[in-house]
């Protein structure tokens, strides 16, 4: 009788240890815990329900890929575009057979996407014409279309919810917010006059960033005043005369996107300064024509606070680059 009691107690202790270990594992690995149905509404207002946490994810945009890796679910990404260069050189991964290319950003190969058997596809607004077809084939698709810092943060939280990485997404947003607030506090403490900023998107024709672009929000949060903030288009065509009349304090010029030896669309800084009538612009006269990383400033993703920091350094060198 005594032996039976001992055996029973040993069995109970063993079961308790196994159950406790299982619970700890599930708690530390939320991607393995379905926790019922999760409903997620994307930037197009489309609601998708997830009964299980996605394990095979295809990203149709570089900024979407950056979100996935930033919240710690990059190991589930099975397909990216040919334009994905961050946070890794995915072209090398693709060449080595460790990642699949789904084609161009605006021209994804749907057959390749289907061959990857994804349980989540992250799209952008440029893919709107493909969405009904993808969903009709049974794929779960979320569209990310951020246009400022807040919508970038909302998208990070949305993807976190869809992928079971809520805590990591929240922690990332909190960290980015703290970095952004620190930049704002430094600018506010300086009591400096806000500089007028011209950001060149393209030439020719001359194109800049309007009020509905994320670049406008970046300039504003970096303590600048976008000279085309009154334009409702995201990237309006503008005139040289308007730029001269606006007399920007700082001109920001992006490098080419992607690794290329070709000169950027605007040529050189000297060529920009030599444009007809531009010699009277404050930024030209004071040598405040600044080159910024085109890859960084091309995407509204988790690096948007890095964009703000780079812009702030260009606008307020006396604060951020005192040497």
Residues 72-92 pLDDT 10s? 999 999 999 999 999 998 999
Output the pLDDT for position 321.
79
pLDDT at 20 over 50: no
* Average pLDDT of the segment spanning 225-254: 97
Output the pLDDT for position 256.
86
pLDDT at 314 over 50: yes
- pLDDT, averaged across the chain: 90
Residues 6+ apart with CB under 8 A from 292: 252, 253, 254, 255, 310, 311, 314
Question: Considering only CA atoms, which of 84, 202, 83, 221 is closest in space to residue 148?
Answer: 221
CB 109 within 8 A of CB 88: no
Q: How many CA atoms are closer than 13 Å to the CA of 195, on its beta-carbon side?
A: 25
Mind listing the domains of the chain with CATH numbers?
A: 33-172 (3.40.50.1980), 192-320 (3.40.50.1980)
Output the pLDDT for position 262.
82
Q: How many CA atoms are closer than 13 Å to the CA of 24, on its beta-carbon side?
A: 6
Output the pLDDT for position 138.
94
CB 208 within 8 A of CB 198: yes
Residues 183-192 pLDDT 10s? 999 999 999 9
H-type helices in the chain, by residue range?
A: 2-28, 62-70, 90-95, 110-115, 128-136, 149-162, 166-190, 214-221, 240-246, 269-273, 282-285, 294-297, 304-315, 317-320
pLDDT at 23 over 60: no
CB 141 within 8 A of CB 131: yes
Enter the DSSP assignment of 103.
B
pLDDT at 19 over 80: no
């Amino acid at each position: 009788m005594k032996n039976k009691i001992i055996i029973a107690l040993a069995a109970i202790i063993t079961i308790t240890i196994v159950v406790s270990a299982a619970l700890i594992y599930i708690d530390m690995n939320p991607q393995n815990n379905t926790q019922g149905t999760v409903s997620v509404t994307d930037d197009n207002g489309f609601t998708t329900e997830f009964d299980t946490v996605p394990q095979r994810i295809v990203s149709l945009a570089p900024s979407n890929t950056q979100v996935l890796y930033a919240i710690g679910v990059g190991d589930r990404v099975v397909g990216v575009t040919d334009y994905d260069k961050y946070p890794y050189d995915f072209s090398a991964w693709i060449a080595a057979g460790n990642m699949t290319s789904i084609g161009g950003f605006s021209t994804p190969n749907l057959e390749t996407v289907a061959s990857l058997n994804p349980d989540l596809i992250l799209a952008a607004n440029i893919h709107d014409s493909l969405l009904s077809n993808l969903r009709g084939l049974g794929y779960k698709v979320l569209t990310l279309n951020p246009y400022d810092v807040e919508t970038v943060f909302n998208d990070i939280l949305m993807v976190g919810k869809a992928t079971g990485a809520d805590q990591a997404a929240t922690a990332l947003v909190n960290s980015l917010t703290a970095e952004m607030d620190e930049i704002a506090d430094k600018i506010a403490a300086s009591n400096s006059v806000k500089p007028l900023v011209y950001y060149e998107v393209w030439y020719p024709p001359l194109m800049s960033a309007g009020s509905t672009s994320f670049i406008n929000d970046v300039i504003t949060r970096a303590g600048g005043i976008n000279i085309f903030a009154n334009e409702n288009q995201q990237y309006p065509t503008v005139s040289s005369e308007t730029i001269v009349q606006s007399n920007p304090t700082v001109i920001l010029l992006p490098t080419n996107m992607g690794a290329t030896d070709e000169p950027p669309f605007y040529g050189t800084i000297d060529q920009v300064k030599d444009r007809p009538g531009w010699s009277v612009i404050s930024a030209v006269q004071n040598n405040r024509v600044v080159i910024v990383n085109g890859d960084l400033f091309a995407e509204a993703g988790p690096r948007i606070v890095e964009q703000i920091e780079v812009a702030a350094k260009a606008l307020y060198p006396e604060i951020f680059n005192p040497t």
